[in-house]
Structure 1
Amino acid sequence: MDGKVCLITGASGGIGLEAAKALAGLGATVVLVGRDAGRTEAAVSAVRAAAPGAKVEWLKADLTSLQSVRDLAAAFKARYSRLDVLLNNAGLIIDRREVTVDGLEATMATNHFAPFLLTNLLLDVLKASAPSRIINVSSDAHLAGKVDFDDLQSERSYFGFRVYGTSKLANILFTRALAKRLQGTGVTVNALHPGTVRTGFGHNTKGFFRHIVKLGAPFMISAEKGARTSIYLASSPEVESVSGEYFYKCRPRWTSSAARDEALAERLWQVSAQLTGVNA
């Protein structure tokens, strides 16, 4: 990874931080994205401790805000002329419906619309840096998801885990639709399930899911193990030409039938483009 530049969202802790440590250790310049200055600066220090001499810095962004995502893309382009790996890792689950400054449901805004917008804003740099890679951290929770275009913002019905599952389904559908658009560019895009990882994820919830996280914690894998597939997709020569797939434990994995629905993927792309201001 010498000379390569990696941008990682949700990198102030958990699997994002572990991926940053590993990629920095392989020689990459690593740019961490976080919304909390203190936590993200601590993450930068942790990467430097794990990989002495590593080139690492951070950029601030709140992925619940589309303007903040645009500012992030602009700030990255102002500092870097290349991007070899974009790791869309940030994720959110909440048990009560919240609305962002853009009027979007917060889970879908953070988990789907933000990476959709950020990726599209950085495509020109990724193409210019080809061969390059886009990695979307999804989840087997996509099996519980359903894209309802009549209630995409969950105004009529809200259940935190179902909405989270829908956002993870959207990650895979986005991956599939983007892979088609990137054919012949030298840019690949893949999604992954990191496993059930023991991190701070889900601890900001107060209801059912928080109890599930507590009960399941002893059986969950470490963040270091959870990051392995992300690291593999970012760095392994084995997947240099693989695109549009869903991985688990560094191997292609089955998905739900909905995740393989090309018409659904295309419709979601068009709706997402409209909501985020991306040229479809």
Structure 2
Amino acid sequence: MQSILQKTTGIGPTPIEPDNLDGRVAIVTGGAFGIGFEVSRALAHAGCRVIMVNRKQEQGEDAKATITAESPGAQIEWKECDLGSLKQVRDVFTELRKSLDRLDFLVLGAGINVNELGFDSDGIDRHFGVNFLGQFYVTNLLWPLLRKTSKIVGAPEPRVVFEASEMHRTAPKETHFGSLEEINDLEKYGPTELYGRTKLALILFAKYGLAEKVIKENEDRIWAVSVHPGAVNTAMQQQWKDAYPGVAGKLLSWAMLAFGRDVKQGSYSALWALTSAEIKNGWYYNDPGQPGKESAQASDEKLGQALFELSERIIRDKMGEDALVDWRETKLE
């Protein structure tokens, strides 16, 4: 619906079409499907080398074929990784860090929508594991490479963009990020609350974890922001039917698909954040150039600190004391 309105009236998010990104390198989680694919596509067409990371091989192969058919010279690659497996995240992104000479753009867009309850391969609520904790670990593992790139003379400052959502407002009001037991209490909350909690976590991590804690303390020349893509017509909207079986789920899926943006429109917020000179570190944006109004939880510095500490604690508990990279390191061969 919004895509039709934009074509007929001009109403809708400002179109963003980056250009002249030759020599730049991007990693896009969820980059072979939905919004992530449109981000990958736009960056690749602008001359950026793009590495898409997804769980399903067929998505990766289809995405590569589409982009190279449109731009035969495009530098587009695909890596397989399940963000719900901390071991896979460590293996895949450690290898990427070692193999790349630079990283200019990191887009964290992988995830599942409101879906059936369950746990990932690490025994963590799969909404939290896939949508947030895996992304946290990716960022940590790649941070030395981002820092190295930021020190290249004349290079633009690297950017990290998280695909958050206005759904962060549906996070449980009693969220404390105090323990894994809290995260894994699936009997207490429904799928919408669990999904909203992950989007709240992404906003908090960008604002208080990266911008305020890591970047500020390191004096890094790196930007980190979160964005809301809008309600977008992707296949993920079908997951409402899994989360809420019966008529309610079907109606929710229909409403999202009927009135949402198309996937290209959904990519504009991230593309704007990757290329605009107007961004501010740690901010949350609703649309290109439009700062969002976070919930009280998303503006809670203590909650952000608790989330950062819990995330590191869970990863160490699951993967060992040496699992995390020191945020002050550079490159790490």
Check whether TM > 0.5: yes
Equivalent residue for 2:266, pick from 210, 217, 226: 226
Q: Residues of 1 paired with 2:310 and 2:86: CA distance?
A: 15
* Aligned-pair CA distance for 1:210: 5.0
TM-score, normalised by the number of residues in structure 1: 0.94
Q: What SS does the aligned partner of 1:135 have? A: strand
Q: Residues of 1 paired with 2:226 and 2:184: CA distance?
A: 23
Amino acid at match of 1:221: R
* Aligned-pair CA distance for 1:54: 1.0
The answer for the alignment partner of 1:179 in structure 2 is 211
* Aligned-pair CA distance for 1:238: 3.1
Q: Residues of 2 paired with 1:44 and 1:237: CA distance?
A: 29
The answer for the alignment partner of 1:30 in structure 2 is 50
Q: Residues of 2 paired with 1:187 and 1:135: CA distance?
A: 11
Is the contact made by 2:45 and 2:74 (CA closer than 8 Å) also made in structure 1?
yes
Q: Where do residues 159-178 of structure 1 align in structure 2 (5 Å cutoff)?
A: 159-176=190-207, 177-178=209-210
Amino acid at match of 1:16: G
The answer for the alignment partner of 2:27 in structure 1 is 7
| Between 177-186 and 109-118, the greater mean CA deviation after superposition | 177-186
Q: Relative contact order (C-alpha < 8 Å, sep 6+): which is higher?
A: 2
* Aligned-pair CA distance for 1:101: 1.6
Equivalent residue for 2:306, pick from 262, 267, 270: 267
Give per-residue Cα distances to partners, 1:119-165, cap 9 Å, x unaligned. Answer: 01100000111110100000000011132436222334131111000
Q: What SS does the aligned partner of 1:191 have? A: strand
Q: Residues of 2 paired with 1:266 and 1:209: CA distance?
A: 35
The answer for the alignment partner of 2:85 in structure 1 is 65
Amino acid at match of 1:220: G
Question: How large is the RMSD of aligned CA atoms in angstroms?
Answer: 1.6
Q: What SS does the aligned partner of 2:234 have? A: coil
Q: What SS does the aligned partner of 2:182 have? A: coil
Give per-residue Cα distances to partners, 1:44-101, cap 9 Å, x unaligned. Answer: 1122233331111111101110011111212212431211110000121343321112
Gapped regions of structure 2 (runs ≥ 5): 1-20, 151-156, 317-323, 328-333
Is the contact made by 2:52 and 2:77 (CA closer than 8 Å) also made in structure 1?
yes
Q: Where do residues 173-252 of structure 1 align in structure 2 (5 Å cutoff)?
A: 173-176=204-207, 177-180=209-212, 181-183=214-216, 184-204=219-239, 205-206=241-242, 207=244, 208-239=248-279, 242-250=280-288, 251-252=290-291
The answer for the alignment partner of 2:18 in structure 1 is none
Q: What SS does the aligned partner of 1:175 have? A: helix
> In 2 relative to 1, CA 220–155 (structure 1 residues): closer, same or farther, beyond 3 Å?
closer
| Between 73-82 and 266-275, the greater mean CA deviation after superposition | 73-82
Matched, 1:21 2:41: yes
Q: Residues of 2 paired with 1:14 and 1:140: CA distance?
A: 18
Q: What SS does the aligned partner of 1:86 have? A: strand
Is the contact made by 2:51 and 2:76 (CA closer than 8 Å) also made in structure 1?
yes
Q: What SS does the aligned partner of 2:113 have? A: coil
> In 2 relative to 1, CA 51–232 (structure 1 residues): closer, same or farther, beyond 3 Å?
farther
TM-score, normalised by the number of residues in structure 2: 0.80
Is the contact made by 1:202 and 1:210 (CA closer than 8 Å) also made in structure 2?
no
Q: Residues of 1 paired with 2:161 and 2:190: CA distance?
A: 27
Gapped regions of structure 1 (runs ≥ 5): none
Q: Where do residues 58-97 of structure 1 align in structure 2 (5 Å cutoff)?
A: 58-97=78-117
Equivalent residue for 1:109, pick from 107, 126, 129: 129
Give per-residue Cα distances to partners, 1:6-25, cap 9 Å, x unaligned. Answer: 00011121110001111112
Q: Which runs of 4+ in 1 moved over 4 A?
A: none
Q: Residues of 2 paired with 1:63 and 1:216: CA distance?
A: 25
Equivalent residue for 1:140, pick from 160, 166, 170: 166
Q: What SS does the aligned partner of 2:110 have? A: coil
Question: Aligned residues: percent identity?
Answer: 28
Q: Residues of 1 paired with 2:224 and 2:192: CA distance?
A: 25
Report which of the two structures shows the higher radius of gyration computed on alpha carbons: 2
Q: Residues of 1 paired with 2:146 and 2:210: CA distance?
A: 13
| Between 157-166 and 91-100, the greater mean CA deviation after superposition | 91-100
Amino acid at match of 2:287: K
Is the contact made by 1:97 and 1:158 (CA closer than 8 Å) also made in structure 2?
no
